[in-house]
Amino acid sequence: MRIIIAGVICLLASSLSASDLFDVVQSLREQAWESEYIPESTVPAVPFTDYENFEVVELFRAETIEELEASLTDGYPFAWLEETLKDESIPWEDRYWLDCRMRAAISQNLHVFYDTENNPVHVDADDVFPGEWYWREHMIVDPEGRYASEDAVRPVLPEWGNNDAGYILSRFGYRIGEIAVAYNGMSLSRDASIGVLSIGQPSSYDDFEEWNVQYYANLLYPDGSFQAIQFDELGVHSGSVSADGSTLVFFHKTRHDEEPGSVTVMDRNGTILRTIPSEFHFSRMFKPPISSDGHYASCELRDPERHCAIVDCVNGEVFLDTEHTGTDLNSIYSSFSPDANFLCIVGKCKGRILDLQNGSMHEFSETSYTANTNEEIRISCSNLMIIKAIMVIRNLHSNELSVYREGSLIHAIQIDTDAAAFLVPEVSPNGFYTLMNPASFGKGGCLARIHHSFCV
């Protein structure tokens, strides 16, 4: 493979700049790594729907940063990971997703990347975090930290507060660009070609009730440039960018005694496509959920609603599909399936999955909220909603995981953990892996457990 790469370099060197040539070489090295460790399936992988029997096994567990660090004694990839990445009976997309997520867990908690030769690349930073949460192919590095000294050099932007410029690394630790501000909670497209952070003037990260504030939609690009687009209305705006980078959505929070806020939809150039009125009062979210194709987005509503509103960004409609009665206290959390066709609705409520194609609702009666408890529900589903992972959170140290294939329970386990955060399940695109992360975007027990649904 190295001989082939060298040959390609010789052919291209005369027509490419040094920077372009470096990019080409790096791309070829990454392709070579993937070819060796994540080979394409020689035969089509059999989907879950064609199997009748399943065995769910635990592949990996690291409940503390120390355990994660100790697991890397023999380097990366782990022996178990290399084995499953090379298993061509599993769809390539799932194996690739697992490699991305493992690398992200390591870099986020240990500030260590592994290059295409499997050598560790240590990063000196106060924070390393993903900008796009599902795939996590790129990580944002904050070399100074949010609480940098007053004399730290900062970008000239509308009152950015104690935040500094950072840079973006690929999952191999390759530096692919600069970013004008690095803030854990901002939104990044999957290819890292555009980032979004909405912030006010004066800066008000911690003052959620600051109303007479001028907010901006700040569009960030990997060459370090940005554009700050001023909103017409004063007040807090929460924004996200879709994974494909096509759509930016901003929710406007207003007082209860004012008219409800609106939803602003932009394209990646900052052009406003439409402003959608709403009958609901939005809360503030650092990164409102948005489907990978930008068709739908969701935002938590303020008290007393305590549910989620869904916006159809294409057809210009805001609707509430999560308000329920009975023992439900709230349904303020939501997440979209990888294929953007389903919305998982959770909280202190009965878990539900909304089919965005036909409007049907799938309910999980066994997750009905128990009154006068701290129980919470988290749900993730694969493409086509074939696999559903449901976590019933009893308290910080006790979680119950159930994995369903279509309508049948195939795995149930009680998980006791010392990780100081609720565990949230995430399912790989075709459902072959279930990963459980703490419900936070900081450090601490970043990777709790990985389960593999093995067809027998």
pLDDT digits (tens, 9 = 90+) for 74-90: 999 999 999 999 999 89
Torsions phi, psi of 146, nearest 5?
A: -65, -40
| Per-domain residue ranges of the chain | 1-37, 51-91+321-456, 123-295
The mean pLDDT of 44-54, rounded to a whole number, is 75
* CA distances, 353 to each of 248, 275, 316, 435, 444 (Å): 24, 27, 22, 19, 29
Residue 117: is its pLDDT beyond 90? yes
pTM reported for the whole predicted model: 0.89
Residue 456: is its pLDDT beyond 50? no
List pLDDT tens digits, range 256-300: 778 898 999 999 999 999 999 999 999 989 899 999 999 999 999
The mean pLDDT of 391-413, rounded to a whole number, is 80
Residue 102: is its pLDDT beyond 90? yes
The whole-number pLDDT of residue 137 equals: 97
Q: Which two tokens mark 153?
A: 């050099």
The mean pLDDT of 146-162, rounded to a whole number, is 55
Higher pLDDT, 189 or 159: 189
The closest of 236, 205, 195, 200 to 216, measured between CA atoms, is: 200
Q: How confident is the model at residue 9 (pLDDT cuts 50, 70, 90)?
A: very low
List pLDDT tens digits, range 401-411: 888 887 788 88
Helix (H) or strand (E) holding 195: strand 195-201
Amino acid at 433: Y
The mean pLDDT of 409-419, rounded to a whole number, is 75
List pLDDT tens digits, range 306-327: 899 999 999 999 998 777 767 7
Amino acid at 422: F
Residue 433: is its pLDDT beyond 50? yes
* CA distances, 24 to each of 12, 21, 101, 194 (Å): 9, 5, 24, 21
Residue 446: is its pLDDT beyond 50? no
